Amino acid sequence: MKILVCISNVPDTTTKVKFIDNSRTLDTVGVQWVINPWDELALTRALELKDDPANGIQQVAVAHVGLVSAEPTIRKALAIGADEAFRVNSYAKDAFFVAAQLSEVIKTNPFDIILCGIESSDYNGSSVGGMLSEFLGINSVSAVSSIKIENGKSLIHREIDGGKEILTIPSPYVAIVQKGIAKEPRIAAMRGIMMARTKPIKVSEPVDIDSLTEVIHFELPKPRTACKFVDPENPKQLIELLQNEAKII
Amino acid sequence: MSVLVFTENWDGKFKKLSFELISYATKLAEMLNTKSIALSIGEVEKSELEKLGKYGAHKIISIINKNLDILDNQVYSQLIADIAQKEEVTVIVLANNNVGKALAPRLSVRLKAGLGAGVTKLPVNIDPFVVYKKVYSGNAFAEVRIKSEIKILTIAQNSFDLIETYNHAEIVNTEVFVADGQVKTQMLEVQKQTGKILLTDAEIVVSGGRGMKTPDNWGPLIEMASLLGAATACSRPVSDEGWRPHEEHTGQTGKIISPNLYFAIGISGATQHLAGVSSSKVIVAINTDKDAPIFEAANYGIVGDAIKVLPKLVDAIKELKGK
């Protein structure tokens, strides 16, 4: 079996975002780029599954739609342990465009399990995984917090309100994964970093497809009104404020 | 033309979330000079279905089919897309929750319809169609233009107020055929807690962080939550340490919530935590460090030791509730 993890290249989550070009474009000066946190957890789980020979995973690959500037992030995924990488050489216009490009990669390089993080920390769209499955005409499971393989079958936990469902679904499928899928992201060891240098990144050109959406304007959140402080010896005052001023309890 | 709303019921009952969606769709339909249609899948009593009309649905399509008891993303998205085409729908509205996130992207591809995910208010413009949403995990907002003829929107929970309209909704029971072999997702087991206020539904959330010092100190926090009818939550270090269950972790990689009132108790307010709670309408912070970033996000604050402040706070709430 082969697993593909789709990865997004995003600003480090502690970045103080700023915009340029009339608030239409992210100011990338000084931005640290990282693997989207959910994708990193997905990759970690894929590698954990490969570690156990009983699961019969021969290969873990990653795929990314982006320009050559994203290669350090792709190399990081290879250093963590992915065997090879695919990069579609294009600016990521929108989720629909990205999913369409990824589906082209998968049509020529089939995988049994495709993992996508539930959202990217930049556009928070929760879109690419579901779109990709529809482009491929295969099934998908979202809100996945655990994947195990038993006798070649996938056992999947899907989070629902107040609990979870334990499901199975035939391959190939797309799993859209979230918290719980892996405990901590795997960190690249020196050996992995050395080996990543020689692992292949297969670059392809994008197919011609229009995006369906575009960001026309960014804005920063309005600052909250200054915090009103209450005497720690008299929390009753807080309750009165919540009741009479905020009118919320 | 119409606006289609995908509603979800839990054991035959709708939650406030579905009414938010209908209220939103009805307002949007007014802007587009059209009407809203609600889609209900599963066994729901007539009196419950009629509630959808109360928030403005003109028509309620009710589908009952045993092969739809399990959410199979492929089967569901095909079904919704078919209905959307039959009803000549221009906008489909879903919740930005687990189910909405599972279906909306598939519908987007199937109908070649641009997706506005996690929108927080009515479109800022209709022609061109521009929606407003949170990006960079709450560190910014964006206006996104949807260029396609059909649009799909997922609406952030608790971002739109209920509006009662009392339309006389017509309930249309619709038969659909789903072949047994079509449903590929197979359910082995369901594990569900009952009787607990769900974090994503709660209007008030009481959340504890490392400032609670040990897992044994949670008693007053839980008591406070139960007095307020609130759900309990925690920060990531607390769930990582196993002091509280993982379902309670709120923050960027945990649950993203937007209650009316959020208590951050002994939580310093790292960016990743704020990403999960910054949409709360009112934030109250209790922390020993007056320079903690949580106070920049908070509306009300107490600089003090959570362990000492909590019992006094519980007493004050008891006094309030006793009145």
pLDDT single digits (tens) B30-42:
999 999 999 999 9
* Average pLDDT along chain B: 95
Contact B51, B166 (CB under 8 A): no
User: What are the boundaries of each domain within chain A?
Assistant: 2-221
**A2-221 — its CATH code?**
3.40.50.620
Reply yes or no on whether the pLDDT at A83 is more than 70: yes
Report how far apart, in Å, the C-alpha atoms of B76 and of each of A141, B19, B86, B117 are.
12, 21, 15, 19
Angle between helix A37-51 and A71-80 (nearest 10):
30
Window 232-261 of B: residues touching A by CB (8 A cutoff) are: 246, 249, 252-254, 260-261
Structural tokens at position B66 = 């045993």
Q: What is the mean pLDDT of residues A89-114?
A: 98
Q: Do the chains contact at B284 and A238, CB–CB below 8 Å?
A: yes
Nearest residue on chain A to B305, alpha-carbon basis: A232
Any idea which of A210-219, B55-64, B219-228, B250-259 has the lowest mean pLDDT?
B250-259
A residues 73-102 closer than 8 Å to B (CB): 94-96, 99
Which tens digits make up the pLDDT trace of B260-302?
Answer: 999 999 999 999 999 999 999 999 999 999 999 999 999 999 9
- Tell me how far apart the alpha carbons of residues A77 and A9 are, in angstroms, rounded to a whole number: 11
- Using a CB–CB cutoff of 8 Å, tell me whether A160 touches chain B: yes
Buried residues in B24-60 as b, exposed as e (16+ CB within 10 A)? bbbbbbeebebbbbbbbbbebeeeebebbbbbbbbbb
Cβ atoms B39, B173 nearer than 8 A: no
Looking at chain B, which residues constitute the CATH 3.40.50.620 domain(s)? 2-182
Phi/psi at A146 (5° precision): -160, 140
pLDDT at res. B323 = 63
Q: pLDDT tens, A19-38? A: 999 999 999 999 999 999 99
On chain A, the residues whose CB falls within 8 A of the CB of B134 are: 124
Range from A73-77, A224-228, B176-180, B250-254 that averages highest in pLDDT: A73-77
The CATH number of B204-322, from 3.30.70.270, 3.40.50.1220, 2.60.40.350, 1.20.1250.20, is: 3.40.50.1220
Q: Which positions 110-139 of B are in contact with A (Cβ < 8 Å)?
A: 110, 112-118, 130, 133-139
Among chain A residues, the shortest Cα distance to B144 is held by A215
- pLDDT tens, B130-152? 999 999 998 999 999 999 999 99
Q: CATH 3.40.50.1220 region(s) of chain B?
A: 204-322
Query: Which residue did the predictor score with more confidence, A14 or B110?
Result: B110
Cis ω on the peptide bond leading into residue A232 (within 30° of 0)? no
Domain B2-182 bears CATH identifier 3.20.10.10 = no
Gap between the Cα atoms of A43 and A142, Å rounded:
16
Determine phi and psi for B122, rounding to 5 degrees. -60, 155
The reply to whether residue B106 touches residue A227, judged by beta carbons under 8 angstroms, is no
Q: Which of residues 10-29 of B touch A (CB under 8 A)?
A: 10
pLDDT confidence bin for A224, thresholds 50/70/90? confident
